[in-house]
Amino acid sequence: MACDQSDGVITTVSGRRVLVRAAGLASPSPTVLVLHGYTGTPTGIERIAELTEIANEAGVAVAYPEGTATNRGGFGWNSGAEVFATSGIDDVAALVEMIDAIVATGCADRDSITLTGESNGAGMALTAVCAPQLRAAFRSVVMVIPRGR
C-alpha cells in the first residue's frame, strides 16, 4: 500500500487530528509517534523536537497527535496525573483510534511504532504502554521530562 498522506493532517472518526510527516516514503515505514506536553500542540512539539526531517531522511515516518483541549489553551493528555493533565477523556482509546488512522494511510508499519512523549506526553506514554489495549502496540517507548531553567 502506498503512503497516501505524505505530509499533512488526518482526522480520526472522533475528530482528533494527527500531523503525519512521511515525505518521500512510499510504503509502510517505521514510525515515531510524538506526544506533546500539557498545553502543547502537534506543530509546537514538531518544531521543538526537530525530528521530522532527520527521521524522514532515514525512512521513518513521524506522527504528532493532538491531545484533549485544555482550558489554558493548547492540548493535554489524560495521563492520570492530578496536575498538568486533562481528565474525563479516554485518551488511551483516542490513541488506539489515532494509530489505526495513521496505519490506514499506508505510511506507518503497525509492527514498528516507537512512542515518545514530552512532559505530560511522557506521562501519557507511560499510561499507554500500561493499558491492556496498547501494551503490545509499541516497539519501544521514550519518555522525556525536560529540566526547568
pLDDT per residue of the chain (149 residues) written in tens, 0 to 9: 567 655 689 999 999 999 999 988 877 999 999 999 999 999 999 999 999 999 999 999 999 999 999 999 999 999 999 888 999 999 999 999 999 999 998 999 999 999 999 999 999 999 999 999 998 999 999 998 876 65
Q: What DSSP state is assigned to residue 122?
A: H
Domain boundaries, the chain: 7-144
Pick the CATH number of 7-144 from 3.30.1330.10, 3.40.50.1820, 3.90.105.10, 3.40.109.10: 3.40.50.1820
Q: What does the block give as the cell for 97?
A: 483510534
Contact 129, 138 (CB under 8 A): yes
Name the pTM for this structure: 0.93
Quick one: pLDDT at residue 21? 94
User: Side-chain half-sphere of 59: how many Cα atoms within 13 Å?
Assistant: 7
